[in-house]
Structure 1
């Protein structure tokens, strides 16, 4: 719980200790009640540590072993495969229950051993492996085939993706996740094949107010704006939308206390510091909000006693908001040096790095995050999948 005197500098060591402590809490009720989010939680914690240059605190092999224990390996080599086939009356590898009669495609990842696979936990698994340089431990084509099996075959939903083989829910999040995962897997041909239908579907989900919804005609929401803007950025298609209109909707999310909300008439929340700010970075409109006030808001949501970041000041910290709060602060690093600059794909490098300015808030020590993938920028550069964006950091950093 945050104390009355809100901190205005990054409490890096406390946050590292907080995340590390979560790794040791495996006996409590909350651990067992959140297994459906475990793969996501491991990604949030690992990425947060990486942004604080403390990723080595989580052992690489332990992470790889956990990810593989959740993999539905079509060749029968994964731990999850052996666990699911414990029932002798069930054919090997057929532990799936699609409600519409479609055969589930192996190759995906579950959030926890003996859970069902899902596209969201599949992306988190790939992000963990990408951070640790271990994407080669899985059969890439099998994962690609799993992702493409979730592509909608309905003429009315051409370009959409489902979350799992039951095909009960489609969401623009899942389209972004599919594109992101295919990028991590270097699935160039598959991305080219679905490019135009993906763009067309995203444009159908673009609303007149400038935002995007979960589906065609759905209410605009900051989380969906991020997924759709990032998807268009991956597809090199941001020029298909009016970026001023998108930027205006995003800028309107800032409240008087500096925080950002997800849609009109809602409270501010630290997680929108990522969804909104990363989108503004990709559409090159970072200067359209009061970034200094946003920085103060995020820092004020830190727990100065036990570490971690909450959704807003005086609430209890959690790993989700800690991760996205740190990612937002990473995007704000270098703020005091002035005008944001173009970076990534298509940006001209500066001859010399300008100083970051007054970084007494500790943000200069954060690793740069990539706004399109929410991964450390050095990981994205190593994979060769960087797209253009805007940053307060010098262009050659």
Structure 2
């Protein structure tokens, strides 16, 4: 996910002309995200410790999309990120936890968003390279990546590896004069083996198609520069048809057939459709209305479905979905 200022974005003027039920309560969402680290007396705060660094990334991303990138203290964010850095170059979700690919990606994304790579190099000599070597150490002979030293593999971890390395500027194609740190051809062969007859992708070869895995596989193909050459127009049509069928009568999207809608798929499904130029196959008006029904207009934040409890995970992906839909007042997100 990358952010770019778009025409008419970042201000509230256009949104003020919308009917009340279609307005995003920007200031409430900003205040909600700012409040998250003040809730240390609540049980939920401690139960979600294993997601802490990703939670910071989700909150920062939402704030950038809302046009308030400086709403969290940069120094405090960097201090927490560096506390989670391990000697082997990986990042954990919080102090006292093991390093993992997913949290290493979140840490790298945070550093990129707050322009923190300079501080990383000051903290650790050749810090970017050290992080990249940790990521590369998790690639397996068949091209896939493990999440950590215990060896679980998943296309999420491959996408995380390619995303983080691209942000670090250390993908093989970004360093043509250096020996490659990872085997891109093997990684792409594994991603392609995860595609199913219905056009979707699973977590491993033969696994059921799932919108989240479609995102990770399309993201990996896109970062490697192979999504167009691999899928072609016919492949994009087939995948786009499967993705567009994720929209239900409520306007919301689900992750796979016969499942409930969930606001987070506003990002997973639509960003995948954006990567294959099929975003217009979604009913944008109905999806916009569904996402906005999931917001808490009084306290801020978005939930998975209307009436449920809000959380930062669904807040960021609901707001990112609205950005892809071109909702007024938001910074434009580039899924490619």
- TM-score in terms of structure 1 length: 0.74
1:141 aligns with 2:135: no
Aligned counterpart in structure 1 of residue 230 of structure 2, from 217, 221, 240? 240
The aligned residue for residue 6 of structure 2 is: none
The aligned residue for residue 84 of structure 2 is: 70
- Segment drifting more, 133-142 vs 251-260: 133-142
- 2:162·2:171 contact (CA, 8 Å) conserved in 1? no
Aligned counterpart in structure 2 of residue 15 of structure 1, from 1, 25, 29? 29
**Aligned partner of residue 108 in structure 2, secondary structure:** helix
Aligned counterpart in structure 2 of residue 317 of structure 1, from 303, 310, 313? 310
1:369 aligns with 2:333: yes
The aligned residue for residue 114 of structure 2 is: 132
CA distance in 2 between counterparts of 1:268 and 1:231 reads 25
The aligned residue for residue 165 of structure 1 is: 149
- 1:40·1:121 contact (CA, 8 Å) conserved in 2? yes
Alignment of 1:13-92 (within 5 A): 13-72=27-86, 74=87
- Segment drifting more, 207-216 vs 184-193: 184-193
Deviation track 1:316-339 (CA, whole Å, cap 9, x = no partner) reads: 111100000000000011xxxxxx
The aligned residue for residue 15 of structure 2 is: none
* Aligned Cα root-mean-square deviation (Å): 1.5
- 1:7·1:304 contact (CA, 8 Å) conserved in 2? no
1:109 aligns with 2:98: no
The aligned residue for residue 151 of structure 1 is: 139
Aligned counterpart in structure 2 of residue 199 of structure 1, from 188, 211, 223? 188
- Segment drifting more, 182-191 vs 36-45: 182-191
Deviation track 1:118-166 (CA, whole Å, cap 9, x = no partner) reads: 000000011111100112322011001100111113xxxx110000011
Of the two structures, which has the highest relative contact order with CA contacts closer than 8 Å and spacing of 6 or more? 2
CA distance in 1 between counterparts of 2:75 and 2:334 reads 25
Deviation track 1:344-383 (CA, whole Å, cap 9, x = no partner) reads: xxxxxxxxxxxxxxxxxxx3211111214xxxxxxxxxxx
Please report how far the alpha carbon of residue 314 of structure 1 lies from its aligned counterpart in structure 2 after TM superposition.
1.0
Please report how far the alpha carbon of residue 8 of structure 1 lies from its aligned counterpart in structure 2 after TM superposition.
2.0
**Aligned partner of residue 256 in structure 2, secondary structure:** coil
The aligned residue for residue 288 of structure 1 is: 281
- 1:257·1:297 contact (CA, 8 Å) conserved in 2? yes
Please report how far the alpha carbon of residue 190 of structure 1 lies from its aligned counterpart in structure 2 after TM superposition.
7.3
**Aligned partner of residue 213 in structure 1, secondary structure:** coil
**Aligned partner of residue 45 in structure 1, secondary structure:** helix
The aligned residue for residue 124 of structure 2 is: none
- What runs of 5+ residues in structure 1 fail to find an aligned partner? 1-5, 75-105, 334-362, 373-397
Please report how far the alpha carbon of residue 12 of structure 1 lies from its aligned counterpart in structure 2 after TM superposition.
0.7
CA distance in 2 between counterparts of 1:190 and 1:251 reads 33
| Greater C-alpha radius of gyration | 1
Aligned length: 302
Deviation track 1:177-209 (CA, whole Å, cap 9, x = no partner) reads: 000000011013377652211111111000000
Alignment of 1:184-195 (within 5 A): 184-189=167-172, 193-195=182-184
CA distance in 2 between counterparts of 1:217 and 1:136 reads 42
Please report how far the alpha carbon of residue 266 of structure 1 lies from its aligned counterpart in structure 2 after TM superposition.
0.5
Alignment of 1:238-277 (within 5 A): 238=227, 239-241=229-231, 242-277=235-270
- What runs of 5+ residues in structure 2 fail to find an aligned partner? 1-19, 121-126, 175-179
- TM-score in terms of structure 2 length: 0.87
CA distance in 1 between counterparts of 2:295 and 2:49 reads 25
